[in-house]
């Protein structure tokens, strides 16, 4: 058995609470229940304080957390990857819950209403056929998606008919896949920043930290916008509705301004150059996200 002043793992003499040879902490995990509970609540309190020290700069001080992290100030704040994963899980759970509960399933209607709807649909279909959007393939009518093969299109149409009475299945599938898709976009966004700021001398990981913090901020703001809009829609107080609507517009304006200031403060370039790179970044990235979400909608229907 190693001595009391030695590491329990490699028996090296200790010079502090951690072994300088293998890194193991000199700490016994076999103790009574009161000790476990005390440590648990102590860790929870510490994490809670780190969370609030992280959220306020994340919301109001563009680029502050990224610069502090890269300058070595890491203990007071939640690590960027953990912050993003925690934010992503909670945000998409919130979206899934709200959108699933807001789905209204069509109730059976009388024959006259059904006939009127069929007439309207026939007129819309005729217009789409004239524009070349709606195609008829023998007995199968297809609302064509250009990136699907005929077999995939048929499977998609069949799934759409099956999900007409159970739309929550597709919504739940969409929000279960969305966090994974967003996680894939993070390294792509960091790569875009690396290419745009090629001569800055920064490593790829520095741009990835920016991507993690900026995406965490966007998800926080989107969650706040959805909750404020929900409060405005369901409030019977005119004053509260007005306040919520104004806050929604304020946040919608704050998101692009924040992201511009983030690039300006973090990369320390002039306003004109930063604005040009900001416009390029937003244009390319939004196009990628739009294509990704359209593909995700199709997959949500096919895999539901």
Q: What pLDDT does 86 receive?
A: 87
The span from the CA of 258 to the CA of 112, in Å, is 53
Q: What value, to the nearest 5°, has the Cα angle with vertex 235 and ends 229 and 238?
A: 100
Look at residue 100 in the predicted model and tell me its pLDDT.
Answer: 61
- The pLDDT value recorded for residue 139 is 38
Q: How does pLDDT run across 262-278, given as a tens digit for each residue? A: 999 999 988 999 999 99
Of the candidate ranges 10-14, 137-141, 209-213, the one whose mean pLDDT is the lowest: 137-141
Give the number of other Cβ atoms within 10 Å of residue 225's Cβ.
18
* Cβ neighbours around 10 below 10 Å, total: 12
Instruction: Confirm if 207 and 190 have CB atoms less than 8 A apart.
Output: yes
Determine the average pLDDT of the residues in 123-151.
Answer: 55
Dihedral sign, Cα of residue 20, residue 22, residue 25, residue 30: negative
DSSP character for 141?
E
Average of per-residue pLDDT values in the chain: 76
What is the model's pLDDT at position 207?
93
Q: Which of 11-15, 115-119, 251-255 has the highest mean pLDDT?
A: 251-255
pLDDT by residue (tens digit) across 4-13?
578 877 888 8
Nearest to 167 by CA among 294, 301, 296, 74: 301
d(Cα 215, Cα 267) in Å, to the nearest integer? Answer: 17
- What pTM did the predictor assign? 0.68
pLDDT at 263: 93
Is the per-residue pLDDT at 160 higher than 80? no
Instruction: Express each pLDDT in 16-69 by its tens digit.
Output: 778 877 877 776 655 555 554 555 444 444 556 788 889 999 999 999 999 998
Assess whether pLDDT exceeds 90 at residue 240. no
Q: Is the confidence at residue 212, as pLDDT, over 90?
A: yes
The two tokens of residue 291 are 């294509």
Q: Per-residue pLDDT averaged across 111-118, rounded?
A: 57
Least confident window among 177-181, 225-229, 259-263: 177-181
């Amino acid at each position: 058995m190693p001595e009391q002043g030695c590491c329990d793992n490699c028996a090296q003499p200790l010079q502090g609470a951690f072994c300088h040879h293998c890194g193991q902490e000199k700490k016994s995990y076999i103790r009574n229940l009161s000790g476990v509970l005390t440590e648990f609540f102590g860790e929870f309190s510490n994490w809670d304080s780190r969370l609030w020290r992280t959220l306020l700069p994340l919301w109001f001080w563009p680029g502050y957390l990224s610069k502090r992290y890269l300058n070595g100030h890491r203990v007071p704040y939640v690590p960027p990857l953990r912050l993003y994963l925690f934010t992503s899980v909670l945000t998409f759970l919130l979206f899934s819950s709200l959108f699933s509960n807001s789905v209204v399933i069509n109730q059976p209607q009388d024959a006259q209403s059904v006939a009127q709807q069929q007439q309207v649909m026939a007129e819309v279909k005729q217009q789409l056929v004239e524009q070349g959007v709606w195609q008829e393939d023998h007995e199968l009518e297809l609302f064509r998606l250009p990136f699907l093969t005929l077999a995939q299109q048929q499977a998609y149409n069949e799934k759409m008919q099956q999900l007409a009475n159970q739309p929550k299945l597709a919504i739940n599938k969409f929000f279960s896949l969305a966090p994974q898709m967003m996680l894939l976009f993070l390294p792509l966004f960091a790569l875009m920043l690396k290419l745009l700021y090629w001569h800055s001398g920064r490593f790829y990981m520095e741009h990835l930290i920016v991507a993690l913090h900026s995406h965490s901020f966007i998800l926080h703001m989107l969650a706040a916008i959805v909750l404020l809009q929900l409060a405005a829609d369901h409030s019977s107080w005119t004053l509260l509705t007005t306040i919520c609507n104004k806050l929604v517009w304020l946040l919608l304006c704050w998101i692009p301004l924040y992201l511009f200031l983030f690039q300006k403060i973090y990369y320390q370039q002039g306003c004109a150059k930063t604005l040009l790179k900001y416009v390029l970044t937003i244009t390319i990235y939004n196009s990628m996200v739009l294509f990704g979400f359209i593909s995700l909608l199709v997959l949500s229907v096919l895999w539901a």
